[in-house]
Amino acid sequence: MSFEFSKKLTAHETPIPGVVLYDLPVHGDNRGWFKENWQRDKMVALGLPDFRPVQNNISFNEKAGTTRGIHAEPWDKFISVATGRIFGAWVDLREGPSFGTVFSAELDPSQAIFIPRGVGNAFQTLEDNTAYTYLVNDHWSADAQGQYTFLNLADESAAIAWPVPLDRAELSDKDKAHPRLADVVPMPPKKILVVGADGQLGKALRKIYDGDNSVEFAGRSGFDLGSEAAFTSKNWKNYSTIINAAAYTAVDTAESAEGRTSAWAVNVTAAARLARTAVEHDLVLVHISSDYVFDGTRDIHAEDEPLSPLGVYGQTKAAGDAVVSVVPRHYIVRTSWVIGDGSNFVRTMASLADRGIEPSVVNDQIGRLSFTQDIAAGIRHLLESGAPFGTYNLSNEGEPQSWADVAGDVYELVTGSRDAVTGVSAEEYFKDKVAAPRPATSTLALDKLRDSGFTPAPAAERLSDYLNQRTKP
C-alpha cells in the first residue's frame, strides 16, 4: 500500500454544502502505520461539526470493483478507509438548490470525508480486501430504513465516472433497482418546532416562516408543555431546533399563590423539560427572556449582567434562563416591553385614545419597546447566520422612553395630540394596588446583536406602522 505519510490535518471544501474532505496525518515506519481516524478536539477546531457519533460500522469488500450505493441516510457520517483504496461518489439528495450536485474523489487511509444527513453516499473499491468505515451519529434501526433516500448508481444526470464500468462491477440487486434522479423524493430538512405558537411572538413567527414547511407550529393544544407524554410522543431525530415562545406573563397575578405556581410551571419546569430534550437530542434551543430578570438599578443592561429579579415573574424568568444556559447549543433572546398581535400596552393606549379617555401613565420606568416582528426576525437571523450561541438582548432601536412617553406617542399618532396623557410615578400609580415590583430601568444594550449582523428597526417607526395597521373601532 502506498500513500503519503505525515500529511497535515487539512479540510477541503467540496461543491456539495456541508461535505468536507479531510487529509489525515498517517504515521508509519518499518512495522506499519498509525493514524488518528477521529480526533474530536482537533477536527472540531478545524471546522468539522461536533456531530456526536454513537456507532461505528465497517464494510469489508473482498474484491476490487465492488460498488455500493447511492444511499442517503437520515444521519451524519464521517467516512474513512481503514485499508485499501476506494473511488467515492456523493450526490446531494436533500431538498434545496444544491439537489443533484455531485462530488467524487479517490480515498486511501490518509483521507476522510464528512457527509451530512441526506447526502447520498456510494463507493467502488479499487483494491482487493478494502475496508470502508462509517462513524455515524444515530443508531441504525430497521425503522430508520424507511427514511432513506436512494439514487441509481447509473443515473445519467449524475454521470458518475466509475473507474470500473458498472456492467463489470459487483452490485447488489437492490442497488441496481434504485430510481433515477427525476424520480427521487428529496430528503426534507430537519424541522424547527415552535411551541407557544399562539401567543404574540408565536403569531409573528408564523408570519415570518409562512410557507416554510420545515417549521412546525404548536400551540397549547398541539404541544402541552406540562405533559411528559407530549415530549415522549415526538421523534426528536427529525428536529434540529426548538423555539420556546411560551411564557407565563401575568406579572402581577404571579404574586398570588395560584399565579406563582403557574408561573413556575410554565417559565421554569417546562423550560427544564425543553432543555433536557435539547441536550439529549443535540437540538438548538431558543428561549425568550425578559428585562424582569434585572432589578433595574443600572442605566443599561448588558447580556453578562448578573441576574437580580425583584418579583415572582422575574424570578421564574431568571430561573428559566439559568436552566437553558446549560444547553450546549442555545440562544437566550432577552426582550423588553413586548408589542405584537394581542393584548399589550400600545393597543390599550390606542383604545383609550379612541374613546377620548385621559390616562395617568407611569413616567419613571424607562426602557424600549420590542415589536414581535423584530424579535421573530432576530431569532431567524441568529439561527440562519450561525451566530455564536449564548444570550442576546433584542429590543427595538431608539432613545429609551418612559411608559408615559410611549403613551404620549400613541395619543399623538391616534389623535394628533399627546396632551391627554399625564405622567405619574410608579409609587403613585400602584398605590393601594396589588402589583409586582418592576425594574425602574429596562433598557437593553444591543451591541452584541448588532455585531452578529442584525439591527432592529427604530421603535418609533414600528409604532407608527403598528398603529396604522390596527383595526379601529
φ, ψ of residue 111 to 5 degrees: the values are -135, 160
The H-assigned helical ranges of 154-227 are: 173-176, 200-208
Q: What are 329's three cell numbers? A: 447549543
DSSP secondary structure string for all residues of 317-369: HHHHHHHHTTSSSEEEEEE-SEESSSS-HHHHHHHHHHTT---EEE-S-EE--
Q: 3-state class of 316 per DSSP?
A: helix
Torsion 41-43-44-49 (CA) sign: negative
- The helix, strand and coil proportions of the chain, stated in percent and rounded to the nearest 5, come to 30, 25, 45
For 139, the 3-state DSSP assignment is coil
Give, for 444, the enclosing helix (H) or strand (E). none
E strands in 175-329: 191-195, 215-218, 239-244, 284-290
Distance between CA atoms of residues 324 and 388, nearest Å? 15
Give me the active site residues, please: 71, 134
The DSSP code sequence of 111-134 is EEEEE-TTEEEEEEESSSSEEEEE
Q: Which residues contact 114 (CB under 8 A, 6 or more apart)?
A: 18, 19, 20, 22, 48, 49, 51, 76, 77, 78, 79
Q: Are the C-beta atoms of residues 265 and 254 closer than 8 Å to each other?
A: no
Angstrom CA distances, 326 to 142, 161, 307, 389, 391, stand at 34, 48, 16, 11, 12
As a whole number of angstroms, the distance between CA 380 and CA 217 comes to: 15
In a 13 Å sphere around the CA of 419, the CA atoms on its Cβ side amount to 2
Cis before 357 (ω within 30): no
User: E strands of 213-351, at which residues?
Assistant: 215-218, 239-244, 284-290, 330-335, 338-339
Residue 68 phi/psi, 5-degree rounding, is -130, 140
Provide the pairing of β-strand 102-107 with 32-35: unpaired
Q: State the Cα torsion 295-299-305-311 to the nearest 10°.
A: 10
